[in-house]
Amino acid sequence: MADFSGSALDVKWTYGTGTYTLTGDQRNFSYTPSIDLIETTAGADSNKNYISGPKDGQAQFEALMQSGTASTGTAIYSLLTEGNSGTLIYSPEGTGAGKAKYTLPCISLGVAFGYPYSDVVTVSVPFQQNGTRVEGTN
């Protein structure tokens, strides 16, 4: 498989009646799958034993904040208010035919803004997976 750059990433947030593109000024996107472990240690066991429980995951989106209230500015982040449920659709290699695409039902945990004294303003949005991740292609 050939290497590719994170600049090809496409992330969309489907919320309400629309789909909104988050990428363009992104700095980082990550998805971390996890799973619950159920301990089954009993009796004379000298080591802990586990079985796999339900799957889980978290995503994190970070970008530069654009000025104004247009779709590239603060307006998009009102759709990501803490508690809003929607769907993240992300394509790490871009949206070309046959490229990987992941669909992830999520709850937004809210938008954090960073206002450094002498640097660009950034936004960071954590998401909690809220259902089954679907892996497919564009």
Residue 29 and residue 59: Cα distance in Å, rounded?
7
Domain ranges of the chain: 6-33+50-137
- Amino acid letter, residue 108: S
Residue 77 main-chain phi, psi, to 5 deg: -75, -15
Residue 92 and residue 71: Cα distance in Å, rounded?
22
CB 116 within 8 A of CB 99: no
- Would you give the distance in Å from CA 21 to the centre of its chain? 13
**Is residue 16 within a helix (H) or strand (E), and if so which, with residue range?**
none
Q: What is the structure's pLDDT at 69?
A: 57
- 17-61 pLDDT tens trace: 899 998 888 899 999 999 999 999 999 999 999 999 999 999 999
What residues pair up with 59 in beta bridges, in sequence order? Answer: 31, 127
CATH architecture, domain defined by 6-33+50-137: Roll (2.30)
3-state SS track over 102-129:
EEEEEEECCCEEECCCCCCCEEEEEEEE
Is pLDDT at 1 greater than 80 in this prediction?
Answer: no
Average confidence score pLDDT of the chain: 90
- 70-90 pLDDT tens trace: 555 667 788 899 999 999 999
* pTM (2 d.p.): 0.88
